């Protein structure tokens, strides 16, 4: 367990031990796969509700056999230790592992079971052996018949990752277009928090910018995820795992300074509030004040997180917490245009065609609660609830149009103001456990979740928009009047809302010791509503639209097979599905009615391995994703388009296919050498047009992150870095041809490689200093490709950050 001198496997969610009488006589269902002995003992402690103490060095390099069925604690422990050369003895309500008759009770450190099995903090690892993203229960990567990636706390610190966008860019197979995260050519629209009900990323005004200082790790499962994610595209699902209180006192501090006056600080304190350790707390405060390589742009980000954990008796754990954060941006984000013939303007990377008086300020609140109860038969009941509230106040400034390559004219100023709010409620309840059937032990999970999104958005545009010309190469100042009388058009979208409720179940059967069969299904209901009002100048508000939509009950199936080739490698295959309602895409005749939902499904097959005694995970997968029912224009009717009040007229004829290969590795490849690497080959095709479907998805994508602690006299030094290599991407649009007419055009970004470096020095046992240098070669590229009118955004030039961290 990383730097811990001794390890203690402790059953029960809150770290309570069973009584000696129960330990001697009770029989429980045990289900442990072949794996390293240390991990098997941790699982046994949880499943038998026992406290097992052992030193890491006496179990290092030893393996445990598979163990399934009904056992007393003594029988199960004896079976796991058979052939290991280790013995055990009981000391009150604890089991003590010995080697050669020596006890292991010096300076024991106790850590709660939930922390030990899944947390990545203080492990120093680039992987985790346990994840809950696929089934609401803790599983190893080999038990999940889909591709799963993780970015751990250690990797986030090594790469200086501070928000969810940066974390997602470190995940193999994931791309970002400035608005959405993409996996296998499709937007990811669902995010779990601690494995709970899905947070809707695709809803109005919700911008995922979570502070990673609050989280232990981020997990991503690629492919369709309708079983747990509900509505959405078949790209995948994200799970953010919050930091939780530790049973021992810990204080972490960090101070950082970097390019463009980027200053950051963080304090993270955790420990027990009661002498017996049944009440624990953790608090995190972070603050960032940063300039930017972009003109007229700076950011201030204060954030606070707190969580309280309590053992309500030996079987029940309750968790309560919340967070508050601000993101105050001065200046508008850059949205550089192009020449009208599609050529690049060649502006500097610092160029920003806006004014310094623009701003957008966001306040975020989140409260959450969790309840976990472990029954005497080993079954576990969980309740997970979260409420989020995000408010944004914004005055933005931009240019409209494209630049004539001869006259350099064509751009005009524009500005507006907006206020928005997005509230989301997520509740999930489930029951999971093992049962015996036909002489074998199997697992089952059943649950229900509820998601409600309520959003409100009001915006206004200036009457003088698009009248004042702009010189793209010397924009100068523009200071229009911004009183209420200066805005000639306003729109109010809200209340906007969607609500989905679903029930799900998953059965995992073990017909043989090597074969696992997974079958599951979700039943969902979906509702959508939207009210739109508009007004001109000082006139009264007028009702524009009052839309109500309900989708009939939908069933989404899930299935998989896993076959263990040996105790290290497994082959697997899976089928998963998802659906996506289209309430604002209409079929004729006008005013139209909503198209049937888009249906998505994913087939995947591959091989997974646990290497180096479980210290690393490896995956090779082949995938085929299909999405049907995509809207295409219906030539029978005249078309109209408004992304907010409905589009008409369409027909559901489109079929989209995404195929490819994922290769991934994560973990420790040698003593002191951590690595996370992934390569994805992906092609997408829109069958209705015989063209590429997702042109922002590169055909080739390679990501690497690594850190190596030098040996011997150099052991205080750690060197590493990361790499991103991707092939060309583009966005289709129109541009002027030689005759001056507009014709189809691709706005492209060629393939590029970004190299980042890291070096860390351990000053004392408690303090270390890390230097990160990003874009080491100072590569010039567009991290976001737009159109003639804008949304072309440069990637950051070479930059550096020096961070001092302390742990006590």
Determine the pLDDT at residue 423: 94
φ, ψ dihedrals at 254, nearest 5°:
-150, 145
Q: Which of 360-374, 573-587, 719-733, 793-807 has the lowest mean pLDDT?
A: 573-587
- The residue-averaged pLDDT of 2-17 equals 35
- The residue-averaged pLDDT of 332-350 equals 91
CA distances from 764 to 282, 532, 717, 768, 805 (A): 25, 61, 12, 7, 11
Determine the pLDDT at residue 17: 38
Q: Which of 104-108, 276-280, 372-376, 798-802 has the lowest mean pLDDT?
A: 104-108
Which pLDDT band holds residue 25 (cuts at 50, 70, 90)?
low
**Exposed, middle or buried, 7 (CB in 10 Å: 0-12/13-18/19+)?**
buried
Of 236, 305, 122, the C-alpha closest to 578 is 236
- Is the pLDDT at 114 greater than 70? The verdict is no
- The residue-averaged pLDDT of 233-252 equals 90
Determine the pLDDT at residue 53: 74
Determine the pLDDT at residue 203: 62
Between 141 and 445, where is the model more confident?
445
- Is the pLDDT at 58 greater than 80? The verdict is no
d(CA 70, CA 85): 24
- The residue-averaged pLDDT of 772-782 equals 96
Of 572, 578, 499, the C-alpha closest to 229 is 578
Give the helix ranges, DSSP H, for 2-59.
Answer: 20-25, 37-48, 56-59
Determine the pLDDT at residue 1: 36
* CATH 3.55.50.30 boundaries in the chain: 27-98
Which pLDDT band holds residue 98 (cuts at 50, 70, 90)?
confident
Determine the pLDDT at residue 799: 97
Which pLDDT band holds residue 408 (cuts at 50, 70, 90)?
very high
CB atoms within 10 A of CB 177: 19
d(CA 621, CA 604): 7
d(CA 268, CA 249): 11
- Is the pLDDT at 15 greater than 70? The verdict is no
- The residue-averaged pLDDT of 396-414 equals 93
d(CA 486, CA 622): 57
Q: Identify the H or E element spanning 272.
A: strand 262-272
User: CB-side exposure of 667: number of CA atoms within 13 Å?
Assistant: 18
Strand-pairing partners, residue 496, are: 455, 530
The per-residue b/e assignment along 374-391, b for 16 or more CB within 10 angstroms, e otherwise, is: beeebbbbbbbbbbbbbb
- pLDDT by residue (tens digit) across 469-517? 999 999 999 999 988 888 888 889 888 888 999 999 999 999 999 999 9
Determine the pLDDT at residue 50: 66
- Is the pLDDT at 202 greater than 80? The verdict is no
Give the helix ranges, DSSP H, for 543-654.
Answer: none
Which pLDDT band holds residue 62 (cuts at 50, 70, 90)?
confident
Question: For residue 561, is it left (φ>0), alpha (ψ between -120 and 50) or beta?
Answer: beta
Q: Are 565 and 571 a contacting pair, CB within 8 Å?
A: yes
Determine the pLDDT at residue 647: 62
Of 616, 477, 621, 609, the C-alpha closest to 560 is 621
Q: Are 443 and 450 a contacting pair, CB within 8 Å?
A: no
Kindly write down the DSSP assignment for every residue of 462-511, as one continuous string. ETTTTTSEE-TTS--------SGGGEEEEEEEEEEEEEEEEEEEEEEE-S
Between 113 and 524, where is the model more confident?
524
Q: Are 458 and 419 a contacting pair, CB within 8 Å?
A: yes
- The residue-averaged pLDDT of 110-127 equals 65
Which pLDDT band holds residue 108 (cuts at 50, 70, 90)?
very low
Q: What percentage of residues in the chain have a pLDDT greater than 70? A: 91
Q: First CA to last CA across the chain, in angstroms?
A: 17
- Is the pLDDT at 107 greater than 80? The verdict is no
Quick one: CA torsion of 648, 653, 654, 659, rounded to 10 degrees?
Answer: 160
Peptide bond into 358 cis (omega under 30): no
Determine the pLDDT at residue 57: 65
Determine the pLDDT at residue 520: 93
Of 342, 375, 312, the C-alpha closest to 29 is 375
* CATH 2.170.130.10 boundaries in the chain: 136-242
- The residue-averaged pLDDT of 613-634 equals 89
Between 494 and 269, where is the model more confident?
269
- What is the Cα Rg of the chain in Å? 28
Determine the pLDDT at residue 110: 36
CB atoms within 10 A of CB 593: 10
User: CB-side exposure of 63: number of CA atoms within 13 Å?
Assistant: 14
Q: Domain 136-242 belongs to what topology?
A: Ferric Hydroxamate Uptake Protein; Chain A, domain 1 (2.170.130)
* CATH 2.40.170.20 boundaries in the chain: 250-807
Q: What is the mean pLDDT of the chain?
A: 86
- The residue-averaged pLDDT of 672-700 equals 93
Determine the pLDDT at residue 86: 84
Edge-to-edge strand ranges of the sheet holding 87-91: 7-10, 51-54, 94-98, 87-91
**Exposed, middle or buried, 229 (CB in 10 Å: 0-12/13-18/19+)?**
buried
Determine the pLDDT at residue 615: 84
- The residue-averaged pLDDT of 735-740 equals 83
Determine the pLDDT at residue 46: 67
- Is the pLDDT at 204 greater than 70? The verdict is no
Determine the pLDDT at residue 594: 81
Strand-pairing partners, residue 492, are: 458, 533
Of 396, 395, 397, the C-alpha closest to 468 is 397
- pLDDT by residue (tens digit) across 526-576? 998 888 899 888 788 888 888 788 888 889 999 999 999 998 999 999 999
**In this structure, which CATH number among 3.40.50.720, 3.90.930.60, 3.55.50.30, 3.90.870.10 belongs to the domain 27-98?**
3.55.50.30
Q: What share of the chain is helix, strand, coil (3-state, %, to 5)?
A: 10, 55, 35
Between 17 and 364, where is the model more confident?
364
Q: Are 433 and 441 a contacting pair, CB within 8 Å?
A: no
Q: What is the largest CA-CA distance in the chain?
A: 91
d(CA 590, CA 227): 35
Which pLDDT band holds residue 299 (cuts at 50, 70, 90)?
very high
- pLDDT by residue (tens digit) across 145-190? 999 999 999 999 999 999 999 999 999 999 988 788 999 999 898 8
Q: Domain 250-807 belongs to what topology?
A: Maltoporin; Chain A (2.40.170)
> What does DSSP say about strands 199-200 and 190-193: parallel, antiparallel, or unpaired?
antiparallel
Determine the pLDDT at residue 357: 95
Determine the pLDDT at residue 13: 32
d(CA 499, CA 453): 6
d(CA 153, CA 216): 5
Task: For residue 291, give every residue at least 6 positions away whose Cβ sits within 8 Å of its Cβ, in sequence order, or none.
Answer: 260, 261, 262, 297, 298
């Amino acid at each position: 367990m990383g730097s811990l001198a001794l390890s203690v496997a402790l059953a029960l969610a809150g770290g309570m031990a069973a009584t000696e009488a129960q330990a001697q006589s009770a029989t429980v269902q045990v289900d442990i796969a072949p794996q390293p002995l240390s991990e098997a003992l941790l699982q046994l402690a949880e499943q038998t509700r026992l406290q097992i103490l052992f030193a890491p060095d006496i179990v290092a390099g030893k393996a445990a056999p598979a163990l399934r069925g009904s056992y007393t604690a003594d029988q199960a422990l004896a079976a796991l230790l058979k052939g290991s050369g280790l013995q055990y003895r009981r000391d009150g309500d604890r089991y003590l592992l010995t080697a050669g008759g020596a006890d292991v009770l010096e300076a024991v450190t106790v850590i709660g079971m939930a922390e030990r099995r899944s947390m990545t903090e203080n492990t120093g690892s680039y992987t985790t052996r346990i994840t809950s993203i696929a089934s609401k229960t803790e599983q190893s990567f080999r038990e999940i018949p889909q591709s799963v990636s993780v970015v751990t706390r250690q990797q986030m610190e090594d790469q200086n990752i501070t928000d969810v966008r940066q974390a997602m860019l470190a995940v193999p197979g994931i791309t970002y277009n400035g608005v959405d995260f993409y996996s296998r050519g499709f937007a990811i629209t669902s995010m779990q928090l601690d494995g709970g009900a899905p947070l809707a990323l695709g809803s109005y005004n919700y911008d995922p910018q979570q502070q990673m200082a609050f989280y232990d790790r981020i997990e991503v499962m690629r492919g369709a995820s309708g079983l747990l994610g509900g509505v959405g595209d078949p790209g995948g699902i994200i799970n953010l795992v919050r930091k939780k209180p530790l049973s021992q006192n810990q204080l972490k501090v960090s101070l950082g300074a970097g390019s463009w006056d980027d200053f950051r600080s963080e304090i993270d304190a955790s420990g027990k509030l009661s002498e017996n350790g049944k009440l624990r707390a953790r608090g995190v405060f972070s603050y960032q004040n940063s300039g930017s390589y972009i003109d007229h742009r700076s950011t201030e980000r204060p954030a606070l997180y707190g969580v309280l954990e309590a053992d309500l008796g030996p079987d029940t754990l309750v968790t309560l917490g919340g967070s508050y954060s601000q993101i105050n941006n001065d200046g508008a984000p850059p949205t550089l245009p192009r020449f009208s013939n599609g050529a690049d303007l060649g502006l500097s990377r610092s160029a920003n065609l806006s004014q310094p008086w623009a701003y957008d300020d966001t306040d975020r609140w989140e409260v959450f609660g969790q309840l976990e109860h472990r029954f005497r038969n080993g079954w576990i009941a969980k309740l997970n609830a979260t409420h989020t509230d995000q408010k944004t106040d914004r005055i933005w400034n931009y240019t409209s149009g494209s630049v004539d390559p001869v006259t350099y004219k064509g751009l005009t100023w524009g500005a507006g103001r907006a206020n928005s709010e997005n509230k989301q409620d997520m509740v999930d309840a489930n029951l999971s456990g093992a049962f015996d059937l036909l002489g074998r032990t199997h697992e089952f999970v059943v649950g229900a979740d509820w998601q409600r999104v309520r959003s409100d958005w009001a915006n206004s545009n200036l009457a003088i928009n698009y009248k004042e010309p702009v010189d793209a190469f010397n924009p100068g100042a523009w200071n229009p009047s911004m009183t209420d009388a200066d805005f000639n058009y306003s729109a109010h979208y809200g209340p906007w809302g969607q609500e989905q409720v679903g029930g799900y179940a998953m059965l995992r059967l073990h017909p043989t010791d090597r074969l696992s069969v997974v079958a599951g299904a979700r039943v969902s209901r979906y509702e959508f509503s939207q009210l739109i009002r508009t007004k001109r100048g000082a006139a009264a508000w007028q009702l524009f639209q009052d839309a109500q939509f309900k989708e009939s009950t939908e069933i989404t199936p899930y299935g998989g097979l896993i076959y263990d080739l040996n105790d290290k490698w497994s082959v697997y295959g899976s089928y998963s599905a998802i659906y996506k309602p289209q309430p604002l895409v209409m079929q004729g005749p006008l005013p139209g009615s909503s198209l049937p939902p888009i249906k998505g499904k994913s087939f995947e097959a591959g091989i997974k391995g646990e290497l180096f005694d479980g210290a690393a995970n490896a995956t090779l997968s082949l995938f085929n994703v299909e999405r049907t029912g995509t809207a295409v224009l219906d030539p029978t009717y005249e078309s109209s388009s408004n992304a907010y009040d409905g589009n008409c007229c369409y027909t559901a004829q489109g079929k989209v296919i995404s195929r490819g290969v994922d290769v991934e590795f994560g973990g420790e490849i040698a003593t002191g050498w951590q690595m996370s690497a992934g390569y994805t080959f992906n092609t997408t095709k829109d069958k209705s047009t015989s063209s590429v479907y997702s042109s922002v998805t590169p055909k080739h994508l390679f990501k690497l992150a690594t850190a190596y602690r030098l040996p011997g006299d150099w052991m205080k030094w750690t060197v590493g870095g990361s790499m991103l290599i991707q092939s060309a991407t583009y966005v289709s649009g129109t541009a002027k041809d030689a005759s001056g007419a507009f014709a189809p055009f691709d706005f492209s970004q060629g393939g590029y490689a970004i190299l980042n470096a890291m070096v860390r020095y351990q000053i004392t046992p408690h303090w270390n200093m890390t230097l990160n240098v990003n874009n080491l070669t100072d590569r010039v590229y567009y991290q976001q490709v737009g159109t003639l009118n804008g949304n072309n955004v440069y990637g950051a030039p070479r930059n550096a950050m020096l961070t001092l961290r302390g742990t006590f």
